[in-house]
Amino acid sequence: MFLHVPLAGLFGACVFSASVAWANPVVAAKLESPDSSKSYKMEKLVFSEDKLSAIVADGVSKIRSNNDAEVYSSGERYFPVMLVSTADYKALDSAFMFRMFNEEGFKENENYGSMYDYFSASSAGKFKPMFDIYPVALPNPFSDYKNEGSFITSALDVLVERADFKARASKYEKEIPFIMLHPTSKDKATSINSGYFNHQYLLQYSAGKVYSKNGYRFNNYAFVSQKIEGKPNSTSTKDVNMLGTFVHEFSHVIGLFDLYSNDANGYATIGPLPYDVMALGLRNGNGGCPPSFSAFEREAVGWLTPTEIVNKDSVYVLNNISSMQAYAVSNPNYPNEYFIIEYRPAVGFDSKIGSSSYSQKKGKNGVLIWYIDYDSRAFANNDPNGNENHQRVEVKAVLSKNQDSFASFNFVNKNGKALVDGIFNVVFDGNDRVCFTVDRTKTLDKCPEKIVKYSSASSLSSSSVASSSATELLAQKFSPKMRLHASCGMLDVEAPVAGKKTLRFYDALGNIVGTYSFVEPFAFVDVSGWNRSVYVQLDVDGKRLLAKRVKFR
């Protein structure tokens, strides 16, 4: 019935603001180079007791509660990145690094996107970080800088005198979080100083005080090597460090913790492995395609609030995680223990989950069932999954086939009992959504169509609906850029915004009589043969942008 003629493509994004838990000062653990055929050796987590005590005193990320701490990850934010060179190690090309951090759709070196792309996608546009790259040349050999604090403050001394930094400083936070990219590889750096692995930390500990000069303050930072292991002297951009490493360490800066740990033999068999950028997922796609933030992490930084499942009689529709939707099943006696249900198809930054395998655990795309047992002190220790027998963040199951089910909502705290037994009768509707029930006796063969019943013209637009001819639209447009025009048996659609567009056609009773989807900004839909008046609703990525009444004859 429908004929589609694509005309062009267009891309865009939107900005929101949201509250977020402030970053705790943590030190990330070291990871060795991956090999898909074997387990992965990891070194021990690195803290001192004094630093850990100070970390806890400064406050911790709060899940499922308000947090009035400093906000770094909402709206459009700017972060300085020091691209350091020393007398013996040259920095990588600054123009390339700017593109890798900021360019929309960056694809070089097998990267799925840029740093900007990753955080914009994970937040659905709620966080749009821009990274200002500042080349900084230090006069001495790298081996002379055996103290991390003095190395960083030496670079900051250069940065704060730069005219371009001063010109942009008003865009930064009052106390500026930043990224330090040292000029060699992690293995070479750690041979000089065992503490020079990739990590996040605070200057108040590494340098003994918050840096303050010329009215600028710096404290929270990520310390990351520019180059991949084994290439300490390279100046080729082919040898740049993994995107996943940059994403992982900067995620610490905005408040996330490591979710991997090692077993008694020192191997990375613990944690959500390929499913999470704060675990070994940072290496998915050879490090160029780390998985997007989980619903738990999006909740932790204030981007998403899962919907609690309470009604056993409902059919639940779960959209792709990119739509910022997830469900929760909580322990009624202990609200920080819960399950999260999210849908991750093999698209975007999640497209390499199914091809990643770590510690003999292979990833799968589908409906992920996460178990969360959030305890602030365990997370402040930066090792929430250190107990192999009780993982605090774990993927319990991945449902990837129609009619899959999960019936193990078991809690360990305070004798909690879930209000529902499990999820059943999973049905996949492409990459957009899945549907399921929480009643094992209820049958479900396909996702229900979304039916919108209009009780009055006011539900369509702010103006009244009036009758008209076949060439007229009978309601006021919501946006001057959106257009629906019916003529000569064709519906001409103009929607120049990014995202998947879906047209839904309803009769006068609100029953759906047809649908059509497209991604281009324009489409022609063949409606010849129709002799009826219908409501046409235009959705973009599941959000209604336009609703019209159109008469075909």
pLDDT, tens digit, for every residue of 155-174? 999 999 999 999 999 999 99
The last residue of one of the domains, among 199, 233, 255, is 255
Residue 274 lies in a domain: no
pLDDT at 462: 28
> Tens digits of per-residue pLDDT, 308-326?
998 888 899 999 999 999 9
Mean pLDDT for the chain overall: 81
Q: What mean pLDDT comes out for the span 533-541? A: 82
Residue 138 lies in a domain: yes
Residue 8 lies in a domain: no
Residue 76 lies in a domain: yes
pLDDT: which is higher, 69 or 470 = 69
Are both 354 and 387 inside the same structural domain?
yes
pLDDT at 31: 28
pLDDT at 39: 37
Residue 64: pLDDT over 70: no
DSSP 464-486: ------TT---S--SSTT-EEEE
The last residue of one of the domains, among 404, 437, 470, is 437
Residue 275 lies in a domain: no
According to DSSP, the β-strands at 175-185 and 75-85 are parallel
Tokens of residue 11, six digits: 């891309």
Residue 288: pLDDT over 80: yes
Residue 61: pLDDT over 90: no
Are both 433 and 461 inside the same structural domain?
no
Listed in sequence order, the residues at least 6 apart from 129 whose beta carbon sits closer than 8 Å to its beta carbon are: 73, 76, 77, 78, 79, 115, 116, 119, 250
Task: Provide the pLDDT confidence category of residue 545 given band limits of 50, 70 and 90.
Answer: confident
Residue 421 burial (CB count, 10 A): 16
Residue 296: pLDDT over 90: yes
Residue 37: pLDDT over 60: no
Residue 6: pLDDT over 60: no
Are both 316 and 232 inside the same structural domain?
no
pLDDT at 269: 77
Domain count, the chain: 3
Least confident of 131-135, 301-305, 456-460, 544-548: 456-460
Could you tell me if 63 and 374 are in contact, meaning their C-beta atoms sit under 8 angstroms apart? Answer: yes
Residue 132 lies in a domain: yes
Interatomic CA distance for residues 131 and 401, integer angstroms = 40
> Tens digits of per-residue pLDDT, 331-359?
999 999 999 999 999 999 999 999 999 88
Task: Provide the pLDDT confidence category of residue 52 given band limits of 50, 70 and 90.
Answer: very low
Are both 360 and 472 inside the same structural domain?
no
Residue 49: pLDDT over 80: no
pLDDT: which is higher, 146 or 59 = 146
Sequence-ordered strand ranges (E) for 374-511: 393-399, 424-429, 433-437, 483-487, 490-494, 501-506
The last residue of one of the domains, among 255, 287, 306, is 255
Burial of 382 (0-12, 13-18, 19+ CB in 10 A): buried
Task: Provide the pLDDT confidence category of residue 475 given band limits of 50, 70 and 90.
Answer: very low
Q: What mean pLDDT comes out for the span 178-186? A: 97
Interatomic CA distance for residues 484 and 523, integer angstroms = 10
pLDDT at 354: 96
pLDDT at 1: 30
pLDDT at 231: 96
Note down the domain range covering 154. Answer: 49-255
> Tens digits of per-residue pLDDT, 96-113?
999 999 999 999 999 999
CATH number of the CATH domain containing 504? 2.60.40.3080
Residue 220: pLDDT over 60: yes
> Tens digits of per-residue pLDDT, 383-428?
899 998 999 999 999 999 999 999 989 999 999 999 899 999 999 9
Of 5, 124, 18, give the one whose Cα is nearest residue 541: 124
Are both 429 and 481 inside the same structural domain?
no
Are both 387 and 521 inside the same structural domain?
no
Residue 219 lies in a domain: yes
Are both 199 and 227 inside the same structural domain?
yes
Residue 103 lies in a domain: yes
pTM: 0.74
Are both 431 and 465 inside the same structural domain?
no
pLDDT: which is higher, 268 or 481 = 268
Q: Which residues pair with 78 in a beta bridge?
A: 130
pLDDT at 270: 87
Are both 342 and 228 inside the same structural domain?
no
Are both 427 and 471 inside the same structural domain?
no
Are both 226 and 185 inside the same structural domain?
yes
Residue 17: pLDDT over 60: no
Are both 429 and 492 inside the same structural domain?
no
Residue 281: pLDDT over 90: yes
